[in-house]
Amino acid sequence: QKEVEQDPGPLSVPEGAIVSLNCTYSNSAFQYFMWYRQYSRKGPELLMYTYSSGNKEDGRFTAQVDKSSKYISLFIRDSQPSDSATYLCAMSLTGGGNKLTFGTGTQLKVEL
């Protein structure tokens, strides 16, 4: 079993839809949770990060962490074609000095 599980998709939604992307993990020691966005033929870039449980909102994006269920989510409101990308969750044991463990990524396509 992988340490971090993520549905690979592809996920196709119409413009304006609410998108929910999810990851589950097995290591309860993970404390920091991140979402990276990767456009085709580009490197991943950090989209959002959260520490421990709770929600964090940034514009159209909301990151949610439920440590009791070992489950994290990224919600995208009013999705746009420019949101079409692969979204990777990542997590680490501590805030620094420790490597990231990535999910396999979910490919999202937002259609006009």
Say which amino acid occupies 19: V
Q: Which of 11, 13, 17, 100 binds another protein (CB under 8 A)?
A: 100
Kindly tell me the burial class for residue 98, based on how many C-beta atoms sit within 10 Å of its own C-beta (0-12, 13-18, 19 or more): exposed
Taking the complex as a whole, how short is the minimal distance between the CB of residue 2 and another protein, in angstroms?
Answer: 9
The interface mask with another protein, positions 11-40, x = CB under 8 A, is ---------------------xxx------
Q: How far apart are the first and last CA of the chain?
A: 37
Q: Which of 65, 76, 105, 110 binds another protein (CB under 8 A)?
A: 105
Nearest by Cα to 86 from 8, 22, 14, 18: 8
**What phi, psi does 39 have (nearest 5°)?**
-80, 160
Taking the complex as a whole, how short is the minimal distance between the CB of residue 17 and another protein, in angstroms?
Answer: 25
Which residues are at the interface with another protein (CB under 8 A)? 4, 6, 8, 32-34, 41-46, 49-51, 88, 92, 94-100, 102-105
